[in-house]
Amino acid sequence: MKFFTTILIFFLFFGNIKSQTKKRNFRQHEVGVLIGGSYYIGDLNPSKHFNSTQPGFGVFYRFTPNYRYAFRGGFNIGKIIGDDSQSENADQLQRNLNFKSQILEINVMAEFNFLEYRISNDKYKFTSFLFLGLDVFSFNPRGAFDNKWYDLQPLRTEGQAKKYKLVQVGIPFGIGFKANVSKKVGIGFEWGPRKIFTDYLDDVSGTYPNTDANPFSTPLASIMSDRSKKAGSNINEQRGNPNTKDWYFFFGVTLNFKITPKPVPCHAFGL
């Protein structure tokens, strides 16, 4: 998956949005929930989508000023995991690393509908759509050893001079489908990759450190750095792939509810 995918979606969005600005305008407000899953692509899962999917949930607010586009903001929570022991790759089995991490995400997005769509309108009752936005997310990879889980970032398992940041920014984008259920309720499905700028979602990126020159500060750090069957003899050998960044994904069913403003009472003439 390449970053040009995000750029392509960007131009699809705003090229079409511009052409639709004269369409019927209205104001519609919605609140909704996402119920689905989350997973990741990275050094411990290089290519298998939906592998080791964990529960993922979200809430969002959507503002729709036009039949063709909408804007929304939301909060997602999910979990990602990876385990070399579950791989069929010999190098991963030899490396023998594992991790899990909770993902907390705040996002803002724009949506473009391929068909005109509006909740409560039977003429425009379903559409597929694209979305693109920005997010801020937190993560904290933890590794298992001796039936206990340990935070990996403070251990600097690759001999980093500085700890990587556990709060990062990303670019969420993706595709979905939505349809009306009733005059005030809509349902949908969406799948959303997150283009991010860190390779440490799984605490794996570069090479095994030279512990002779720079010893670990604790025995635990040494253990969590090299879990392979030839631990101690991997100095400066490849531990991960620093040329690719990690990805995480949210997908699932959405259920959204149209908010109907209360009418303003008129007190003139005794009404």
Q: Where exactly are the structural domains of the chain?
A: 4-260
Other Cβ atoms within 10 Å of 263 Cβ, number = 6
CB hemisphere CA count around 118 (13 angstroms): 17
Q: How far apart are the two ends of the chain, measured CA to CA in Å? A: 62
Which 3 state secondary structure label does DSSP give 8?
A: helix
Rounded-to-integer distance, Cα 151 and Cα 144, Å: 9
User: Phi, psi at residue 2, to the nearest 5°?
Assistant: -115, 160
Which among 105, 117, 95 is positioned nearest to 167, based on CA atoms?
105
**C-alpha dist (Å) from residue 129 to 114, 158, 236:** 6, 41, 46
The answer to whether 92 and 41 are in contact (CB under 8 A) is no
Other Cβ atoms within 10 Å of 181 Cβ, number = 14
Which 3 state secondary structure label does DSSP give 215?
A: coil
Local mean pLDDT, 10-residue blocks, the chain (271 residues): 53 51 73 98 97 98 93 98 95 96 98 92 92 98 96 96 96 97 95 98 95 88 92 88 96 94 54 44
Handedness of CA 167, 168, 174, 178 (dihedral sign): positive
Other Cβ atoms within 10 Å of 240 Cβ, number = 22
pLDDT at 4: 46
CATH class name, domain 4-260: mainly beta
pTM of the model: 0.88
CB hemisphere CA count around 143 (13 angstroms): 25
List the structure tokens of 25.
Answer: 């305008």
Rounded-to-integer distance, Cα 243 and Cα 95, Å: 18
Going by DSSP bridges, is the β-strand pair 167-180/126-138 parallel, antiparallel, or unpaired? antiparallel
pLDDT at 143: 98
pLDDT at 5: 57
pLDDT at 214: 86
The answer to whether 268 and 60 are in contact (CB under 8 A) is no
pLDDT at 62: 97
Other Cβ atoms within 10 Å of 4 Cβ, number = 8
Per-residue burial over 41-74, b = 16 or more CB atoms within 10 Å of its CB, e = otherwise: bbbbbeeeeebbbbebbbebebebebbbbbebeb
